[in-house]
Amino acid sequence: MLSCRVQPDRLKLYSRGYSLGRLRLHSKLRGHLRGVVGRQNPTQLTPQDVVTPGQLPRRPPPPRGTPGLLGWYCGAIPNPQPENYRRSMEIQSSDMGLVARVAQLSKHYGDGERRVTALDGVSIGIRRGQFTAIMGPSGSGKSTLMHVMAGLDTPSEGRVWLGDDEITGLGDAALTKLRRRRIGFVFQAFNLIPTLDVRGNILLPFQLDGVTPNAEEQHRIDELLARLGLRDRVTHRPHELSGGQQQRVAIARALATRPDVIFADEPTGALDSRTGREVLGLLRNAVETSGQSIAMVTHDPIAASHADRILFLADGRIVADHTAMTPEEISTVMLQLERVQA
């Protein structure tokens, strides 16, 4: 007695002592049967209706070392479908509510004995409309993960998607255009252009893309300037602003194009605690009021406590995935990870 449930793109087969050969009907045989049944007197067969085993197309034998034909139906042998067909049947990121994701992602540096593995088979997604914090001890791979997801670095193995679009094999020009239009960045060092004033820095993504903000986009930028307390600073250059104000400009620049996701790398690392809390409040507000998706790398438990979800990495792997936590709870997990890594 054999019962085997298979994947949707394969036959659902329940065998009760019958051979697989009898259960399978080739398309050629089915065609003959349809032709016979369609006649007024289907019991009168002609010589052309007789199909011998030698006339049926043969299925290629399964690879050596596999469980045989039954293994193909049950999933032990890969489905021999064309690559484009299999990819069309994949579940899309949008179906899962994800704005970015990676599958079996690995990143190595160096070769041979000097090879260092920064990421080791990571599969994870960033949920749409959520604030996700990525944490881990130094050298755990958290910044590498963010850089690969954002298209700033390439994977050694695995696949990367932004929304439903796979970006794994994109060239530099395509990645640059994608980052400019669909990703926002907030860095620890602000990365503002010193020769541009506040408005010029915020408009930079539009200028690099060769477009001028339309009326709706200009209205959004004006709203950002007001919400971030920068309306009176639009003509100031970066050296005339405090650290907190410069980071506000960076946040406004990241939000101005309505990106799919914002990647923030230690956005409070160069700020005092009070200014850091203000910046985190602004990011939190962008999630709650605009449905913005944010992925933030940080080592600060207080910063991570503003997130809806916290991913913990150690030795290049995801070791924990939690919903919102208090700073004390986050600190406890981090101490445990550091002890294990030590």
Q: Do both 83 and 227 map to the same domain?
A: no
DSSP strand pairing (261-265 vs 294-297): parallel
The 165-166 sheet, strands edge to edge: 116-127, 98-109, 157-162, 165-166
CA distance 144 to 118: 7
In tens, the pLDDT along 263-287 reads: 999 998 888 888 888 889 989 999 9
Q: Do both 125 and 261 map to the same domain?
A: yes
> Rounded to the nearest 5°, which phi and psi values hold at 99?
-100, -20
Domain assignment present for 16: yes
Predicted pLDDT of residue 274: 87
Report which of residues 62 and 200 the model is more confident about. 200
Q: Do both 137 and 209 map to the same domain?
A: yes
Q: Residue 50, Cβ neighbours under 10 Å: how many?
A: 9
Residue 100 and residue 31 in contact, taking contact as beta carbons nearer than 8 Å:
no
Out of 71-85, 173-187, 232-246, pick the least confident: 71-85
Q: Kindly provide the residue ranges of all beta strands, DSSP E only, lying in 181-308, ordered along the sequence.
A: 183-187, 261-265, 294-297
Predicted pLDDT of residue 342: 64
Q: What CATH number did the domain enclosing 227 receive?
A: 3.40.50.300
Domain assignment present for 225: yes
Q: Do both 175 and 74 map to the same domain?
A: no
| % residues pLDDT > 90 (the chain) | 53
Nearest Cα to Cα of residue 319 among 137, 151, 148? 137
pTM of the model: 0.71
Q: Do both 303 and 245 map to the same domain?
A: yes
What domain count does the chain have? 2
Domain assignment present for 107: yes
Q: Do both 144 and 229 map to the same domain?
A: yes
Predicted pLDDT of residue 218: 93
Q: Do both 328 and 185 map to the same domain?
A: yes
CA distance 275 to 297: 18
Q: Do both 82 and 128 map to the same domain?
A: no
Q: Which of 69, 88, 107 is the last residue of a domain?
A: 88
Q: Do both 51 and 158 map to the same domain?
A: no
Report which of residues 100 and 74 the model is more confident about. 100
Out of 40-44, 168-172, 204-208, pick the least confident: 40-44
Q: Domain containing 233: what range?
A: 98-341
Report which of residues 134 and 209 the model is more confident about. 134
